[in-house]
């Protein structure tokens, strides 16, 4: 991968220049669809953008220096990690990448939840701590199916390179793997029925309860970017057409990502929130079953 290409992917597509507006678009789509399903009109499309600017322009509350530093650094790290993960997505085949970038992607995607857990503890609020604990428990629960699905794909493709994985058909493995990944999306994005870590009626905003102004703005941005990265990862894996022209690939990538947002929002609007133990059980049971199925298929049906 040349430096120029890497920079392009990081800063333009599917990185910063694409991801930030699309993050706002996705946050809006989620709120708008929910509102429409509830018989309301919902927010205008520029809402997440203005929310972001407004929060950025608020004066931060005075805090002890070390805590202030940690509370600013954590959301920045979450944003940076997600952007890095986005840059690795092989939307264009042969656009570079390197052997083993799958491992890096998984690591980068784990940064935002990790930061959220730390944020909950750093903010020294009981609700932040509870949110962080829940976040941690859930991440243990969904990590197994999430990793199993990716490992199964890697085993079937016999490669740890994302672009190789995304180009081979192998639907017998891809199907259960995609299902397992789809199951992990609501909990990673903290939407219903798995919005346990930010359950407002139980623990306020969870880990971000104590964050205000610019620091909260960055969390909102990180959250939007997670939507782009996770639906993007799913879109890349769901369209393994090696020979398609690059404009088609880009269009399909965007289309699948946005469609997935709508599906997730619709499911969220039609469900109540499960309890921590219930949510964890879903992942241990059904998520792991799907992940293991993908792995078994990858091994016995190469």
Q: Which of 3, 41, 66, 245 is close enough to bind other proteins by CB under 8 A?
A: 41
- When asked if residue 34 is in the footprint of other proteins (CB under 8 A), the reply is yes
Q: Please say which residue, 149 or 187, places its beta carbon nearer to other proteins.
A: 187
124 near other proteins (CB under 8 A): no
Among 6, 11, 16, 37, binds other proteins (CB under 8 A): 37
Interactions with other proteins, residue window 167-206 (CB under 8 A): 192-193, 195-196, 199-202, 204-205
Task: Compute how many residues bind other proteins; rule: CB under 8 A.
Answer: 54
Nearer to other proteins, 5 or 275 (CB): 275
Which of 234, 195, 272, 266 shows the shortest CA–CA distance to 31? 266
Determine, following the binding rule CB under 8 A, whether residue 26 of this chain makes contact with other proteins: no
Q: Kindly indicate which of the ranges 139-147, 232-240, 273-281, 285-293 contains the residues binding other proteins, using the contact rule CB under 8 A.
A: 273-281
- Residue 29 near other proteins by CB under 8 A: no
Residue of 69, 103, 126, 255 interacting with other proteins (CB under 8 A): 126
Tokens 């944003």, located at residue: 79
Q: Both tokens of residue 25?
A: 């678009």
The smaller minimum CB distance to other proteins, of residues 56 and 106, is found at: 56
Of 95, 161, 271, 288, the one binding other proteins by CB under 8 A: 271
- Whichever of 133 and 167 has its CB closer to other proteins, that residue is 133
Contact status: 129 vs other proteins (CB under 8 A): yes
Applying CB under 8 A, does 285 fall inside the site for other proteins?
no
Positions in 209-228 near other proteins (CB under 8 A): 209-213, 216
CB–CB of 153/145 below 8 Å? no
HEC sequence for the chain: CCHHHHHHHHHCCCCHHHHHHHHHHHHHHHHHHHHHHCCCCCCCCCHHHHHHHHHHCCCCCCCCHHHHHHHHHHHHHHHHHHHHHHHHCCCCCCCCCCCCHHHHHHHHHCHHHHHHHHHHHHCCCHHHHHHHHHHHHHHHHHHHHHHHHHHHHHHHHCCCCHHHHCCCCCHHHHHHHHHHHHHHHHHHCCCCCCCCCCCHHHHCCHHHCCCCHHHHHHHHHHHHHHHHHHHHHHHHHHCCCCCCCHHHHHHHHHHHHHHHHHHHHHHHHCCCCCCHHHHHHHHHHHHHHHHHHHHHHHHHCC
Q: Where on the chain is the footprint of other proteins (CB under 8 A)?
A: 31, 34-35, 37-44, 46-47, 49-54, 57-61, 126, 129-130, 133, 192-193, 195-196, 199-202, 204-205, 209-213, 216, 269-278
């Amino acid at each position: 991968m040349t430096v120029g290409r890497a920079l392009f992917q990081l800063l333009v597509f599917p990185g910063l220049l694409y991801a930030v507006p699309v993050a706002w678009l996705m946050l809006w789509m989620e709120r708008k669809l929910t509102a429409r399903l509830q018989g309301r009109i919902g927010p205008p499309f520029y809402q997440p953008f203005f929310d972001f600017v407004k929060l950025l322009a608020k004066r931060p509350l005075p805090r002890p220096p070390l805590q202030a530093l940690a509370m600013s650094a954590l959301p920045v790290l979450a944003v940076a990690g997600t952007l890095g993960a986005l840059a690795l997505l092989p939307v264009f085949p042969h656009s570079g990448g390197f052997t083993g970038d799958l491992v890096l992607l998984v690591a980068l995607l784990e940064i935002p939840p990790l930061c959220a857990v730390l944020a909950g503890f750093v903010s020294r609020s009981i609700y932040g701590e509870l949110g962080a604990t829940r976040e941690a428990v859930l991440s243990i629960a969904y990590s197994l199916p999430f990793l199993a699905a990716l490992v199964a794909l890697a085993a079937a493709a016999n490669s740890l390179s994302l672009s190789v994985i995304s180009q081979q058909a192998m639907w017998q493995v891809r199907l259960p793997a995609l299902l397992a990944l789809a199951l992990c999306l609501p909990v990673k994005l903290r939407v219903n029925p798995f919005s346990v870590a930010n359950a407002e009626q139980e623990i306020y905003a969870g880990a971000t309860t104590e964050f205000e102004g610019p620091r909260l703005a960055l969390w909102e941005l990180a959250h939007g970017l997670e939507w782009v990265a996770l639906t993007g990862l799913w879109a890349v894996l769901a369209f393994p057409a090696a020979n398609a022209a690059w404009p088609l690939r880009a269009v399909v990538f965007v289309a699948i990502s946005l469609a997935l947002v709508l599906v997730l929002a619709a499911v969220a609007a039609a469900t109540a929130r499960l309890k921590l133990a219930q949510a964890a059980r879903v992942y241990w049971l059904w998520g792991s079953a799907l992940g293991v199925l993908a792995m078994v298929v990858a091994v016995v049906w190469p």
